[in-house]
Amino acid sequence: MNTRRTWDLFCTVIDNHGDLGVCWRLARQLAQAGQSVRLWVDDASALGWMAPDGLRNSLPGIQVLPWADASEPDLLATLPTADIWIEAFGCTLPEAFVAHATATRKQQPAWINLEYLSAESWVPRMHGLPSPVMSGPAKGWTKHFFYPGFTQDTGGLLREVGLMERQQAFTASGQRAAWRAQHAPDLAPSALLISLFCYEPAALPQLLTQLAGTPHHLLVTPGRPLAAVQQALSQVPVPPSWSALPYTNQNDFDEMLWASDLNFVRGEDSLVRALWAGQPFIWHIYPQDDNAHHAKLEAFLDWLEAPVSLRQFHRVWNGVEDTAVPLLDTGTLTEWRECLLAARQRLRQQEGLCNQLIIHSATTSATP
């Protein structure tokens, strides 16, 4: 299972950089496991702040390539044949890339459709199922669905080797205290440090109003969160204590989650990182026009075994309910933290997504 193999990982950046964030974490973990990865991406610009080593192609085992180059037969002819293809989040591989492979290789690679993360009950039933290719140059070949998830009968979550130890060292060495002092120098010992990474939640003015007049400090991440806060402040009579953060790389984002007492996160990648951080958090799920995200949110809260106050805050934050958000008092956050630590302990019993992918790809029969 530990044989070094070559992976072609395909990613299209739809919006918000979340897909690229997940793919970069996966590429990095595969490389750490001794694999060779080519990351084909249509817009790698966000790696400039998310993972500068990736943009410079200076990380051993990972090569970042432009999506357009996957349609260049002359270039493809110079590359080693890949053992595994991953199309992340439903992206469609370039037809010229697939046609080149069918014309030049004797058997197909392990072809994996890496899906979005969900706690819904149908995920275990779909995980690992084959999907025959019915048309195009790869007609007769087979893909397999691979679903990340929160239970043993799914593909698990991305978790790099040594993550828990790195977090423990961050606290034990005094780095956590230093991080807090640097980013909120006037924070009182009993005050909360809160990070905000969100879309545009309707309840944001509620949060800002609740924090106003308290010693708590809000750290606002750049882009849509900062714009949302700036707009919401016009609806708040007294602004809370807050400051804006710059764009940061993935390791520094983890440190923000570890250093904060409460984290507001959004999308898929930061949800997983918040789970591993073990601190109380509120998840802003990616909104969908048909409100399909409401069922996805409820499934996650059921898996989480979320207490009533945590469920209510999530529902209001995500627009499922139009009521008041619960107060962020000591008792509430203590209950949330206990819930999150129990959930993290359950997750630590699972095999990580990267290792599961390596095992799955090695055991998937190639079709001649």
Catalytic site residues?
19, 268
Contact 282, 300 (CB under 8 A): no
- Among the listed residues 194, 198, 158, the one whose alpha carbon sits nearest the alpha carbon of residue 286: 198
Tokens of 160: 């790099």
Contact 21, 250 (CB under 8 A): yes
Q: Position 172: which residue type?
A: A
> C-alpha distances in angstroms, 346 versus 34, 153, 154, 291, 339?
27, 13, 14, 29, 11
Element (H, E) at 109: none
Contact 219, 228 (CB under 8 A): no
Please state the φ and ψ torsions of residue 279, each to the nearest 5 degrees. Answer: -95, 155
Residue 250, Cβ density class (10 Å: 0-12 exposed, 13-18 middle, ≥19 buried): middle
Please state the φ and ψ torsions of residue 140, each to the nearest 5 degrees. Answer: 100, -15
3-state secondary structure of 56: coil
Please state the φ and ψ torsions of residue 333, each to the nearest 5 degrees. Answer: -70, -30
3-state secondary structure of 157: coil
- Tell me the torsion sign for CA atoms 81, 85, 87, 93: positive
CA 88/CA 23 separation, integer angstroms = 7
- The 10 Å Cβ neighbour count of residue 286 is 17
Please state the φ and ψ torsions of residue 39, each to the nearest 5 degrees. Answer: -100, 110
Terminal Cα-to-Cα distance of the chain (whole angstroms): 21
Tokens of 187: 């924070």
CA 42/CA 20 separation, integer angstroms = 10
